[in-house]
Amino acid sequence: MPMDTTTDSGTQVRRAREQFLADGSADQAAVDATVLDSWHRSLALRVQPDRIEVPFVREPDPDAPLAIAGLPVVRRLADDLAAQTVSVILTSADGVVLERVTSEPAIMHALDDVQLARGYSYAEEFVGTNGIGTALATGRPTFIHGGEHYLGTLGQLACAGTPIRDPISGKVVGVLDLTCWASRSDPLLLALARSAGGQIEDRMSALATETEAALLEAYLRQCRRYPSGVVAVGDDLVLMNQYLRRSLDTRDQNVVLEHAMDLRRLSGSGIGSGTAVNVLPSGRIAKSTVAEHISLRRNRIDIIVHVGIADDSTVHGGRRVPAPPTPGLAGRSSSWRRSCHQVERCCTDRDWVALDGEPGSGRTKLAEMVAHHIRPDRTIRVLRIGGRTTAEYLLTALTSATAEDDFDIVLADIDRLSTEIVESLSTVLQSCAGRGWIAATMNSANHSAITEALLLPFFMHTVTVPALRYRIEDLEDLVPHLLRELTHDADVRLSSSAFRQLARLPWPGNTMQLRRVLAETLTRQRSGVILADKLPPECHSLTRRTLTRLEALERDAIVRSLQDNAGDKLAAAQALGISRATMYRKIKEFGIA
């Protein structure tokens, strides 16, 4: 690289930086507008200009699409530049260094000193103006030379960073950066970085095209073979055939896609049978079955799903007749009412039934209230293992409850029973088969083979209980119903903003989680109109998975600190005694809105 001959210019930039740090102003003729804008952002982010505070965020993922496409380009470019004192760096969209390659020990040591290393983030919020962070902040190729860096300790370096964009979405997914000594820099570094970044984008496009071409080929093949519904689900590609687009309205289509994406997630984790039977918002039945897996890259599985659609049996003469709601059960959606109607029919006919659904979805409550409605003079026994109820007590209670010729029993969570009790329970059920009524609740995604072999044959029917996220319109009935239960009919209701916030949530804990949320809300306000800011911290987190107890405590502390500090992330992090990196990482991890 040629020697830097811009001594006067460098002196002007250093003086402009000193002036900016002193009073927030700078000689605009001495500093590029991009650099000055970045200095202002760095000041607003409270980046310390005189010391390094670069956070270690995470270990890089070598299986990420950017890494797969980018690492060969990075290493080839580093080989080409082996005779130069240049480091080739690849980062993710949040500035985390995925790879750093150089053949020059001196510059490697210099980068170690400023923590420009794998796993550390060089986003502007942590480091201020630099080739990586500023390229991410502006979305444009950026060359930062010497004193243009906001951090004085970076003044010996020059870096040229260019954003790398996803070929499908166009979003910035990372940065390719070339860093060298400021005294031996050359503006042509930026052109070289842009060229290498383009090569990475081309490789990403080729990899995406290969994967999507395989998914599209499988989708078209299944469309020719299967006469009903076909859905293809990939990372950035979702396809639905004409049969489903014509047969289903928008709400039903959305739920079908949600179930298909759930099947893809379960396929990737090795959980589940690959088949799901669900009630759509219209009341129609959708049976979704994974027909084909496509896996061209490690840790990624795309799927083709066959979707069969059946009309609800309550459809007569072309008109859908919703089943009337069971007293004590709130919900107006067709899928929920259909489940209630099916269980009512089983209870009336004394047919044993298994209620299949996610924990907290209201399976046990549904069976119990239906039995009360059909036989109001009968005591309904609900039996489950948990708390003080041991396996021995459960078997004894079931034996005692089934001693009479007629009985009504709800046997909860049979998918959670151990192998030993399943065998004993099967014997008890065999002894009372054909007498009384038993409803069992379960989650088919989790039950064992022995449960399916020894217990499920006793139950003539299986009724699917929809998860709350598939019937979110039921919040209009559930929230007032639960508020009345929790307050004994006090005058309290949610504001429209609070209701909208609840409707945005994925509710992994279903109605049980909703009840707990409302109970916690009522500890803050017992009457009147409840605003969104009175909702507990978890209502400001959009993550779809169920958090561990420790994670939930972390999320709650972060949400409260953000509320106490009017949304100021830095102040919230300082109040909690954590770094800005941890704050940003946790906000992203928990989906805090």
Q: Which of 24-28, 310-314, 420-424, 547-551 has the lowest mean pLDDT?
A: 310-314
pLDDT of residue 317: 38
**pLDDT the model gives residue 3:** 41
Per residue in 350-398, pLDDT (tens digit) is: 999 999 999 999 999 999 999 999 988 888 999 987 766 788 888 888 9
Residues forming a β-bridge with 289: 275, 306
Residue 38, helix vs strand vs coil: helix
Strands 238-240 and 315-316: unpaired
Supply the DSSP symbol for 323: P
Percentage helix, strand, coil, to 5, in the chain?
A: 50, 20, 35
| 187, pLDDT greater than 90 | no
Helix orientation angle between 334-349 and 363-374, rounded to the nearest 10 degrees: 50
Average pLDDT, rounded, for the chain:
86
Residues 538-564: what's their mean pLDDT? 79
- 3 state DSSP class of 553: helix
Taking the C-alpha atoms of residue 269 and residue 476, their distance in angstroms, rounded to an integer, is: 34
- CA-based nearest residue to 330, from 530, 516, 526, 511: 511
Residue-level pLDDT at 276: 79
Top pLDDT among 202 and 588 is at: 202
Report the run of H or E that residue 180 belongs to, with start and end.
strand 172-181
Is 42 a residue whose pLDDT tops 80? Answer: yes
Which segment of 92-106, 284-298, 369-383, 545-559 scores lowest on mean pLDDT?
Answer: 545-559
Compute the average pLDDT of residues 508-535. 91
Rounded Cα gap, residues 123 and 133, in angstroms? 4
d(CA 376, CA 389): 26
**Quick one: pLDDT at residue 173?**
93
Alpha-carbon gap, residue 551 to 581, rounded angstroms: 17
- pLDDT value at position 274? 78
The model's confidence at residue 494, banded by pLDDT at 50, 70 and 90, is very high
Q: Does residue 8 surpass a pLDDT of 90?
A: no
Lowest mean pLDDT among 414-418, 428-432, 589-593: 589-593
DSSP 227-289: SSEEEEE-SS-EEE-HHHHHHS-HHHHHHHHHHHHHHHHHHHHT-S-SEEEEE-TTS-EEEEE
Residues in the chain: 593
Q: Which residues contact 371 (CB under 8 A, 6 or more apart)?
A: 347, 378, 380, 408, 410, 437, 439
Complete domains list, the chain, with CATH? 7-207 (3.30.450.40), 226-310 (no CATH), 315-466 (3.40.50.300), 472-590 (1.10.8.60)
- Residue 339, H or E segment: helix 334-349
pLDDT-derived band at 7 (thresholds 50, 70, 90) equals low
Could you tell me what percent of the chain has a pLDDT over 70? 93
pLDDT of amino acid 588: 79
- CB neighbours (10 Å) of residue 341? 22
